[in-house]
Amino acid sequence: MLGVQRTERLRLRGRRRLGPALPVVAAGEEQHGRQERAGTPVDSAAMNVLVTGASGFVGRALVDELRHRDGAYEVHPLERSDGDLAEEGVADVAIAEARPDVVVHAAARIGVVRCDEEPEQALRSNVLATTLVARAASAHAARLAYLSTADVYGDGDVDEKTPVAPASLYALSKWWGEEVARLYAPKGLTVFRLVNPYGPGVGPGQGKGAIPTMLRQAESREPIPAFRGEARSWTWIGDTVRAIGLVLERGEEGVFNVGSGDEPVALTAAARLACELAGAPEELVREVDAPPGRVTPRVSVERLRALGWRAEVGLEEGMRRLLESLRAAATAA
């Protein structure tokens, strides 16, 4: 059983109101021009949202986004320190206490390599924890929004109706997470398949993103391995969480791809851009063979765009902002 102190901590977190914006999201937004804000207004009653994985990259940014959107939200961040969601009772107690309208399940083990290195942890985090969160959400009449990955598609041109073809344990575990969400919390379920989000808040070398790693390597004048023949599109974290917030506001259900919609960029080109931004020589870039299990789908985001959403931050601008953030963090350290 979780103690009274933890319950009180959750209650206090849920009552936090607007404060200073964190740069992870604010840096990616233009306050005067969010396209979707001109659409359907939000109900006057505050939407009560519990976000798991709130100490992680996407979860933390989403909590900040919801607290600073034009609509009214009561946000309950559930962090690692609040307990292991794969343990029986942790999710149920948190959801019973917060009584949310929506549970956004962002907690996960991310990355092909990290999941291959610790397969039991991948299954525990991405499948077992999702099972318990979905059961608890359903038991307390809360809608579930599950953050998945576009890696579940495999390669090729894809949209939300494309059959999945997971090519790694990471992608497979996230697909199984989708399936247990559908099994235990199907009513009002929304699944977000994210396309390579990046930005301040994820450390380089954590196996969670090529862009921060390339920028760090360029800044340090280290060799930059880039997978030969691989091209990807990336999505600025501010654009990612803004899309999630919009779909939650509209009460939409089903699967949504969340990506920039830009043409894929070769990893070698992204590495050279990192060198250019950091003032480093392009000779640092080294082409290497990609490990197995990596996929590069070309992901359609037309369903999201139909709601009025557009990505606001392109790759070069996003990398410039991220580099500035990395430099500021290094100076402050």
76 pLDDT more than 80: yes
Residue 215 resides in a domain: no
Q: Tens digits of per-residue pLDDT, 163-199? A: 999 999 999 999 999 999 999 999 999 999 999 999 9
Instruction: State mean pLDDT over 24-49.
Output: 51
Please report, for residues 28, 56, 201, 229, 323, the alpha-carbon distance to residue 328 in angstroms, rounded to integers and kept in the order given: 16, 20, 12, 33, 9
Q: Is the pLDDT of residue 41 over 60?
A: no
Of 104, 78, 267, the residue nearest 194 (C-alpha): 104
Q: Is residue 25 part of a domain?
A: yes
Q: Report the Cα–Cα distance between both ends of the chain, in Å, rounded.
A: 38
Q: Per DSSP, what are the bridge partners of residue 146?
A: 105, 191
CATH number for the domain including 160?
A: 3.40.50.720
**Confidence (pLDDT) at 204:** 52
- pLDDT tens sequence across 54-70: 999 999 999 999 999 87
Residue 170 lies in domain: 4-201+235-262+296-314
pLDDT greater than 50 at residue 12: no
> What domain count does the chain have?
1
Above 50 in pLDDT, residue 37?
A: no
Residue 246 lies inside a defined structural domain of this protein: yes
Residue 192 pairs with which residues in a beta bridge? Answer: 147, 256
Tell me whether residue 46 is in a domain: yes
Mean pLDDT of the chain: 87
* E-only strand ranges, the chain: 47-52, 73-78, 102-105, 143-149, 157-158, 190-194, 197-198, 224-227, 231-232, 235-236, 254-258, 265-266, 285-288, 298-299
Read off the pLDDT of residues 298-307 as tens digits, 9 standing for 90 and up.
999 999 999 9
The token pair at 274 is 């990192």
Q: Radius of gyration of the chain from Cα atoms?
A: 19
Query: Is the confidence at residue 1, as pLDDT, over 50?
Result: no
Alpha-helical runs (H) found in 69-185: 90-98, 112-117, 119-123, 129-139, 169-184
Is residue 17 in some structural domain?
Answer: yes
pLDDT band at 232; cut points 50, 70, 90: very high
Separation between Cα atoms, residue 103 and residue 224, nearest integer Å: 39
What's the pTM value of the predicted model, to 2 decimals? 0.86
